[in-house]
Structures are given as structure tokens and as C-alpha cells.
Structure 1
């Protein structure tokens, strides 16, 4: 018999994660345990457990003397996350290519269609989340539970990074990249699939982390002060 309180705790975790992934809960938003407990009808202990799980996934920052907040990853943390994601997803593609069948093709095309509908309806946040779920589906198809877990966590982090550092953009490029990857897998062209997933993650990173603006030129007086010291 399932524990109702545990089920509500899982509901709280899933709702908070989805709200963060869709950028409804903005980076830096406070997550007070008491308010969340009242909303979800669970104890603060269970809310604390849900928040701890989100913190493990890099979606929430937990301080010792203040409420948890939605994480605000730095640019350096973002670059590290995408570096790990590229490595994981190349392995995902290699494993899926070796276990390919037509049911996988139908499942992935159905996911891409949902992403396309969300994009064309102008629901950018939903489209981004569905795009992330495409990669989670791929990871599930490897049959490797641990790899799926790592991909699930890194997708959460990079989706949050897009919310922090990126700008809204049409999903047409991402959709086309997903379709090309699926067709390469279907044709058994593992080398092309590996190249495509690497290029796709690099493109997502470039959209999420636009080039940093050049630093403001130093004021003339400040420059001369440095060179005028005895």
C-alpha cells in the first residue's frame, strides 16, 4: 500500500521541477518551506526532502540561514554542464543506434510533433521543455537506468541555464536537428548520428550562452591614475 504523504511529496517535487524547467519559477525565486507545505498539503519535512532532491539536480540553491531559492548558475557552471551533456549524449546515441527498432522511431517522431505544435502556437517555454524531454526519451531507450538518470539531471540543469542566460528564439533549428538525428539513427548511420548530436548540443549551448559583451572601456582618468603613481 502506497504512502499518501510520500505521493504528495513526489507531486510537490514534480510540480516544482516542471515550473522551474518552464521558467515559471524564475531564478532567484524564494521557496519557503511553510508556504510550499501548505500549498501541497504536506509537512515541512517532506517539502525539505523535495527541495533537497531539486538541489541535488542543481535546480535549487539551499542556504543554511535562508529559504531555498531557484538556482542561478554562473556562466562557468553553465559551460561545465554543457561539456558533461555532450559526453553523455554521445554515449546515448551510440547505445540507441545499436538497439534501434521502428517503435523507437514512432515514439521520437511523436515527441517531435508535440514540440513542433508548441513552437508554432508560440508557447516557447513548453517547446523548450518538450525539446529537453526528447533527449530524456533517447536516454530511456538505451536501457541503462543510471545513464538515464544522469541525462535527466543534466537536462534539468541546461534547461535552467537557458532560462538564466539565453533569450527566446524560434525552435525551428532545434526541431530540424532532432529530425535529422532520428533519421540518421533509423538509417543505421552511427557516425553521422554522433556528429549530429554533438553539433546539436553545441548549437543549443550557443543559443543558451550568447557571446559575452566586450568589457566597457576604462575611463581615461582611471587609466592615467594607474600610470601616474610615483
Structure 2
């Protein structure tokens, strides 16, 4: 039998992936009883999961009887990207100081996952993996506080990208990630800061456009699909 911490982790990863890939649309209700039944968890544990998602900017719970998937406005989206750019410039400095072949290997392997998702035409998975590339960089920075703040911002921005998207090729982001790895490997701090800034501006410009939100889907079937992947 899995431990409570394992269940919380699987439930968190399942819901996070389903939200960022927009299987669970902005504004979708997240009933505690249904989530609890799906993961065989108490309401207390479900609330722990929802609190983690709220801390990442993916779920709204304030003044609501039922938690919902967050619906950041365009103004909030622009503010999130502005703060993220500033923090990621600092992240570049930290990663360059700790750069080694193991870091390069991890990042290049992740880019290969992005390329595979792009080859399959899975735009939603590509969007999630693009955000997780930056989460890996934050983790590799060695700065726990920076990683914590960027984890929230990257998750929030991934939701924003899924909500406010215009058709574009994910190949652009993949090539930009590869270019960033090459600059980090050279240890060129100024170039790395400039490139990540331009990269995020490019991502923002490709994504921030108003769009109609799709109708709410059946949460049970969505959780079944994503929990299998999250447990793997």
C-alpha cells in the first residue's frame, strides 16, 4: 500500500499535468470528494494537494466552497512573465557557476523529450515540457529559494501559455532551449542572461492572446488518464 506522502505526490503530479496541458480547463471545479475517491485519500490529504497547487498558482481556493483551476487575467500574465524574466536572469548566473557535464546531460536529455513530443504533434505535452526545462534549470541552480519562487512562476506561466495561446511551432522554443544550453556551456554569463530574456519575451509574445475557454470536462475520466502517467 502506498504511503500518504506517495499519494499526495501522485495526486499533485496528476492534477498539475492535467491543468498545464489544459485537460482541466481554467475555472474547472475540483471537488474534494471526487479527488479523494480517485486517489483513495482523505479530505485532509486532498486539501494538502490543493494547497500545493495553489502555492504554484494553478488553483484558486480563496473564498470558495470548491477549489477551481486558476484563471489568471492577461494583466496578471504579463506581470508573471516580467517577474519571471528577472529571476531567470539571476538563475543563469547560478547555473553557470555550477556547470558540469552532468548538468549538460540532464538538460540535453530533456530537450530530446521536447523534440519527441513535437514529433508526435502533442502541443499540450510540448508546452508542459517547455516549462519543465526551466524548472530543471532552477533545480540545478543550487539556490533553494530561487527554485521555490521560480517553481511557482513557471507553473503559473505554463497555465497562462495553455490558456492564452496562438498557433505556433513548439520547434521555436526547442531550438531556443538548445541554444541556451550551448551558451551556458561556454560560461558566457552576459550572453546567457540576454538569451533567456529574449527567449521568455518570445514565448510571451507567441502566447498572450485572448481566447475563449472551453467547456468543463469530466474530472473523473481526466484524472484516470493523467494519474497513470504521473505514477509511472
> Normalised by the shorter chain, which TM-score bucket?
0.7 to 0.9
Partner secondary structure for residue 44 of structure 2:
helix
Within 5 Å, which residues of 2 pair with 1:80-229? 80-210=79-209
- Structure exhibiting the larger radius of gyration computed from Cα positions: 1
- Give how far 1:3 is off: 8.1
Using the alignment, how far apart are the partners of 1:3 and 1:179 within structure 2? 38
Kept after mapping to 2: 8 A contact 1:124/1:168: no
**What TM-score does the superposition give when structure 2 sets the normalisation length?**
0.86
Q: TM (normalized to structure 1)?
A: 0.86
RMSD over aligned Cα atoms = 1.8
Distance between the aligned counterparts of 1:65 and 1:189, measured in 2? 48
Please tell me whether the aligned partners of residues 62 and 68 of structure 1 are also in contact (alpha carbons under 8 angstroms). Answer: yes
The structural deviation recorded for 1:168 is 3.9
Deviates more, 1:27-36 or 1:203-212: 203-212
Could you say if the C-alpha distance between residues 5 and 101 of structure 1 is closer, same or farther in structure 2, counting changes exceeding 3 Å? closer
Compare 48-57 and 85-94 and name the one that shifted more: 48-57
| 8 A Cα contact 1:19 1:25, kept in partner | yes
Listed as ranges, the matches of 1:16-35 within 5 Å are 16-35=15-34
Larger relative contact order (Cα-Cα within 8 Å, sequence gap ≥ 6) = 2
C-alpha separation in 1, matches of 2:167 and 2:33: 33
SS in 1 for 2:93: helix
User: In structure 2, what is the Cα distance between the partners aligned to 1:52 and 1:103?
Assistant: 33
Find out whether 1:62 has 2:69 as its counterpart: no
Deviation, structure 1 residue 73: 0.4
CA distance in 2 between partners of 1:127 and 1:120 (Å) = 10
Q: Is the 8 A contact 2:77 2:157 kept in 1?
A: yes
- 1:59-96 per-residue CA deviation (whole Å, 9 max, x = no partner) reads 11114343111011001110111011101110111111
Which stretch of the first structure deviates more once superposed, 119-128 or 99-108?
Answer: 99-108
Unaligned stretches of 5+ in structure 1? 213-230
Q: Give distance in 2, aligned partners of 1:65 and 1:120.
A: 41
Structure 2: runs of 5+ lacking an equivalent = 212-232
Find the aligned partners of 1:113 and 1:65 in 2 and give their Cα distance: 41
Runs of 4+ in 1 over 4 A off after TM superposition: none
1:201 Cα offset (Å): 0.6
Q: Give, in angstroms, the shift of residue 210 of structure 1.
A: 3.4
1:19 is displaced (CA, Å) by 0.9
